Amino acid sequence: MQNFYLLFLSQIFGGLFLQMFFVNLARAQDRAQIQEGTERLIYDDLSIDFARSPGVILGVIERDSTFIFSYGTVDKSSTRPPNTKDIFEIGSITNIFTARLINILAEKGILKKDISINNFLPDSLHNATAETITLENLLTHTAGLPRVPLGIGITQTEDNQPYAFFDKKTAGEYFRDLKIEQEKTGKYNFSHFGYALLEIIVENTTGKTFAEVMHTELLQEKYPHTFFDTKKIKQENFVQGYDKSQAPTPLQRYAAFSSAVGLKSNLTDLLTLLRENIDGADFDILQEAKYKTEMRKGVYAGEGWHLIKKKRKPTIYVHTGATSGYRAYMAFVKETRTGVVVLSNSEFALRGLGFYVLEGMN
């Protein structure tokens, strides 16, 4: 009877009906399989502890389909699971946005990526040992700079606020006086400080705040729920973060490192970013493997993204983010048009959840 009904409808509406029916059926099957695999990882294989990581939300791209899976709660006193509108700190996934912004400014002729960064800094901050360092070096973590400035902790006067009191004046002067070892230039060393310098460079060359330039040039059109200002977070979309003692943490403040780790965003915007990287051309330059890293064999640095290349397997593009109360993970495989975003409201890592979900689809 069911087959007769489908045949009847197909005769009325033509082959389009059956085509759409089976496309939707395939999507439902894909969703069920991905959800089953995700929940097996969460509850069995990885045994995610929701006492330590109260809320987790995943967005999965599988070709033209997008699936959302939400677990736990937005805070320990709530029963509401996280949703696609909820705002999380995304830590150094901010690098992807900053790298795209630098390329936009380069395309407009405001910046040049292949000359010394001294050209874009005030004369008072020029560093003679940085003459060979370019914007590309900063974007790929190959400028020979430390992860964070030595002594940054001395300025910290509040718990869980490592960047709130180290300002741009101090950051600039630290760079000016730093003796950069030439043999380290061109070699990978992950550096929040390198991305913090990009903030100083953008402000010096444009005469505007970094947040203003980021919003105008990139965020306002495609990523309206991504921002630096914590005052923009609506109470109904606030997700409480927790540190490793499982205590609630305040949202982090930044005096100089916004361009490295300062953005807040939601799953909707991050899935838009992921889709743009998978299907669009604007981010292609960020995805080029430019330098080998020492993390492990087959891992390369692009501009913002890191690339995992293995024999007989498609390249994985990945970036993670962490603050004192949140974790974020983004990765995709361009060749198969698959990707995943994972957000959680805890400083604890999720034991590779995002990687295993992506691997399961490939």
Q: What is the pLDDT of residues 301-347, one digit of tens each?
A: 999 999 999 888 999 999 999 999 999 999 999 999 999 999 999 99
Task: Please tell me the distance from the alpha carbon of residue 176 to that of residue 126, in angstroms, as a whole number.
Answer: 6
**Domain harbouring 108, CATH code:** 3.40.710.10
**Beta partners for residue 248, in sequence order:** 242
How many separate domains does the chain show? 2
Q: Is 333 part of a structural domain of the chain?
A: yes
Task: Please tell me the distance from the alpha carbon of residue 203 to that of residue 196, in angstroms, as a whole number.
Answer: 11
Q: Is 92 part of a structural domain of the chain?
A: yes
Q: Are residues 278 and 337 in the same domain?
A: yes
Q: Are residues 324 and 282 in the same domain?
A: yes
Q: Would you place residue 203 in the very low, low, confident or very high pLDDT band (cuts 50, 70, 90)?
A: very high
Contact 179, 84 (CB under 8 A): no
- Asked which of 32-41, 89-98, 170-179 is least confident by mean pLDDT, the reply is 32-41
pLDDT, tens digit, for every residue of 234-252?
Answer: 999 999 999 999 999 999 9
Q: Would you place residue 28 in the very low, low, confident or very high pLDDT band (cuts 50, 70, 90)?
A: low
* Residue 101 CA from chain centroid, whole number: 14
Q: Are residues 124 and 265 in the same domain?
A: yes
Which pTM does this prediction carry?
0.92
Task: Please tell me the distance from the alpha carbon of residue 68 to that of residue 74, in angstroms, as a whole number.
Answer: 16
pLDDT above 70 covers a percentage of the chain that reads 92
Kindly give the residue spans of alpha helices, DSSP state H, lying in the chain.
Answer: 2-13, 15-40, 94-107, 135-139, 168-177, 192-206, 210-214, 220-222, 258-261, 267-279, 353-360
The whole-number average pLDDT for the span 34-49 is 94
C-alpha distances in Å from residue 349, one per residue of 37, 61, 124: 19, 22, 41
Q: Are residues 177 and 34 in the same domain?
A: no
**Beta partners for residue 241, in sequence order:** 249
pLDDT, tens digit, for every residue of 132-150?
Answer: 999 999 999 999 999 999 9
Question: If you average pLDDT over every residue of the chain, what do you get?
Answer: 92
Q: Would you place residue 89 in the very low, low, confident or very high pLDDT band (cuts 50, 70, 90)?
A: very high
**Beta partners for residue 264, in sequence order:** 89, 227
Q: Are residues 38 and 157 in the same domain?
A: no
Among 94, 96, 230, smallest CA distance to 161 is for 230
Q: Would you place residue 36 in the very low, low, confident or very high pLDDT band (cuts 50, 70, 90)?
A: very high
Residue 75 structure tokens: 């805070």
Query: Which residue range forms the structural domain that includes residue 290?
Result: 55-360
Q: Is 279 part of a structural domain of the chain?
A: yes
Q: Is 50 part of a structural domain of the chain?
A: no
Q: Is 24 part of a structural domain of the chain?
A: yes
pLDDT, tens digit, for every residue of 5-20?
Answer: 444 434 444 454 444 4
Q: 202 — phi, psi (to 5°)?
A: -65, -45
Q: Are residues 11 and 68 in the same domain?
A: no
Task: Please tell me the distance from the alpha carbon of residue 299 to that of residue 297, in angstroms, as a whole number.
Answer: 6
- Asked which of 23-27, 139-143, 356-360 is least confident by mean pLDDT, the reply is 23-27
What local confidence, expressed as pLDDT, does residue 24 receive?
52
Q: Would you place residue 296 in the very low, low, confident or very high pLDDT band (cuts 50, 70, 90)?
A: confident
Q: Are residues 271 and 322 in the same domain?
A: yes
Q: Are residues 30 and 119 in the same domain?
A: no
Angle at 27 between CA 61 and CA 87, to 5 degrees: 35
Contact 86, 57 (CB under 8 A): yes
Q: 195 — phi, psi (to 5°)?
A: -75, -30
Q: Are residues 169 and 27 in the same domain?
A: no
Q: Are residues 8 and 148 in the same domain?
A: no
* Residue 244 CA from chain centroid, whole number: 21
Cβ-proximal residues to 193 (8 Å cutoff; 6+ apart), any chain: 145, 146, 147, 148, 149, 171, 175, 260
The whole-number average pLDDT for the span 178-207 is 96
Q: Are residues 39 and 155 in the same domain?
A: no
What local confidence, expressed as pLDDT, does residue 29 receive?
66
- By CB atoms closer than 10 A (0-12, 13-18, 19+), residue 37 is middle
Q: Are residues 20 and 148 in the same domain?
A: no
Q: Would you place residue 268 in the very low, low, confident or very high pLDDT band (cuts 50, 70, 90)?
A: very high
